[in-house]
Amino acid sequence: MEKIRIGIIFGGQSAEHEVSLMSASSIIKIIDKSKFDVLKIGITKDGRWHLYFGDVENIENGQWINQAVPAFIVPDPSRKYMITLQNGIETRYPVDVFFPVLHGPRGEDGTLQGIFELMNIPYVSCGVTSSALCMDKVYTKKILKNEGLPVADFKVYFKKDLLLEINAIVREIEESLGFPCFVKPANLGSSIGITKAHNKEELKDALFLASEYDTKIIVEKFIPAREIEVSVLGNENPIASLPGEIIPSNEFYDYTAKYFDGGKSKLLIPAPLAKEETEKVKDLAVKAFKALDCSGMARVDFLLSKVTGIFYINELNTIPGFTKISMYPKLWEASGLSYKDLIEKLIELAFEKYREKQALKLY
């Protein structure tokens, strides 16, 4: 059987560049080389694309760039390959399917997925609309709420209004959501620009901080909660994994707790929940996945209120952390699907979705 040529994309322009390097290395190491020819595609922090032919060991430490060749794709369906130009000579590297192992903006937010659509090539991850919606915390919550799914109360503000109306905004938040509250840039990840504001002064600072990262800001009611996550996999008939729980090492699961605490944040797999709670959260995860038109995969993150026992859907990550020890694959492992098989399943789903689309009269 002919091997499938897979373009695994790592790095990228978001703050989660390093996480992406780790996720992609893990995938490249384990993927079955008898079935797949792997093309390693690295994107630098300033957005330059390369093909990397060296050892996988040098991806994580960033050394890959020293042995990489500038490369590009074009949004042309008749050119399903990566291209390098060296000394005026064009070399083509055909690709059957892309796997963008990129987290955050310009990787997970629909922009890159748009290029794949223009190329008309299969790719792992949700489609353009779904990726963009899930990256936007405001639209995610609006859609979930509209479907009758539980989300924390929230308000939306714009950077342009902050200077003139800051006092009125602060008053409105104090009256409607109260303290503490969570202030977040609408489109980001990794807890960057997020503050738990305990009073008016902190709230003002938090709004201005968030406005450095996005022109749209979401402010949410604080939920005193346990953090529960569920992995969802599939296209039209998605299934949910067992839930997992995160015990953050800081006051909340902030940037430091996620990446720099030397592993003090704990993952509990499966989450210690009652049977009915497990069923409930799995059901909500699949509903959220469908509501946001996801395909392939998403990790659905919940806040389980310690006061009311309500599962609030906090966010969906359409390209979640994917190292061997990351929550998304770990939950599947605990649910009976190995890391290696999970990767193959995702690729299979990418082809399945592509085939379905080809059968439509789109143009």
Ligand X SMILES: Nc1ncnc2c1ncn2[C@@H]1O[C@H](COP(=O)(O)OP(=O)(O)O)[C@@H](O)[C@H]1O
Residues 281-310 that bind ligand X (CB under 6 A): 301, 303
Report the distance separating Cα 33 and Cα 36, nearest Å.
Answer: 5
Residue 278 or residue 314: which is nearer to ligand X going by CB?
A: 314
- What 3-state DSSP class applies to 260? coil
Q: Annotate each residue in 225-264 with x if it binds ligand X (CB under 6 A) or - if it does not, as one string.
A: x-x--------------------x---xx-----------
The HSE-up count of residue 182 (CA atoms within 13 Å, CB side) is: 22
**CB count in 10 Å sphere of residue 171:** 12
Binding region for ligand X (CB under 6 A) out of 90-98, 126-134, 222-230, 260-268: 222-230
- From 109-117, 138-146, 184-192, 275-283, span contacting ligand X (CB under 6 A): 184-192
Residues linked to residue 10 through DSSP beta bridges, in sequence order = 42
| C-alpha–C-alpha distance, residues 231 and 330, integer Å | 9
Binds ligand X by CB under 6 A, chosen from 22, 82, 186, 223:
223
Q: How many CB atoms lie within 10 A of CB 269?
A: 17
Contact 124, 350 (CB under 8 A): yes
**Binders of ligand X in range 145-164 (CB under 6 A):** 152
Q: At what angle do helices 111-119 and 128-135 cross, to 10 degrees?
A: 180
Decide: is 182 part of the binding site for ligand X (CB under 6 A).
yes
Q: Least distance to ligand X from the beta carbon of 269, Å? A: 17
Classify the C-alpha dihedral 114-342-20-223 as positive or negative. positive
Nearer to ligand X, 7 or 189 (CB): 189
Could you tell me which of 297, 305, 340 has the C-alpha nearest to residue 103?
A: 297
CB-based contact 8:24 (threshold 8 Å): yes
CB 51 within 8 A of CB 41: yes
* Interaction residues for ligand X, span 302-361 (CB under 6 A): 303, 314-315
Closer CB to ligand X, residue 133 or residue 349?
133
Return the C-alpha torsion angle 154, 160, 165, 166, nearest 10: 70
Stretch that binds ligand X, among 3-11, 73-81, 183-191, 286-294 (CB under 6 A): 183-191
Rounded distance between C-alpha atoms, residue 339 and residue 131, angstroms: 23
The residue number whose beta carbon is nearest to ligand X equals: 253
Between 49 and 182, CB nearer to ligand X: 182
- CB of 118 vs ligand X, minimal distance in Å: 27
Task: Report the greatest alpha carbon distance in the chain.
Answer: 67
Site string for ligand X, 58-97 (x = CB under 6 A): ----------------------------------------
The nearest distance, CB 143 to ligand X, in angstroms, is: 15
Q: Whole-number minimum distance, CB 107 to ligand X, in Å?
A: 14
SS3 317: strand
CA distance 13 to 20: 10
14 vs 314, which CB is nearer to ligand X?
314
| Region of 48-56, 69-77, 186-194, 268-276 interacting with ligand X (CB under 6 A) | 186-194
Indicate which single residue of 16, 96, 109, 220 sits in contact with ligand X (rule: CB under 6 A). Answer: 220
Number of amino acids touching ligand X (CB under 6 A):
19
What are the residues binding ligand X (CB under 6 A)?
Answer: 152, 182, 184, 189-191, 194, 220, 222-223, 225, 227, 248, 252-253, 301, 303, 314-315
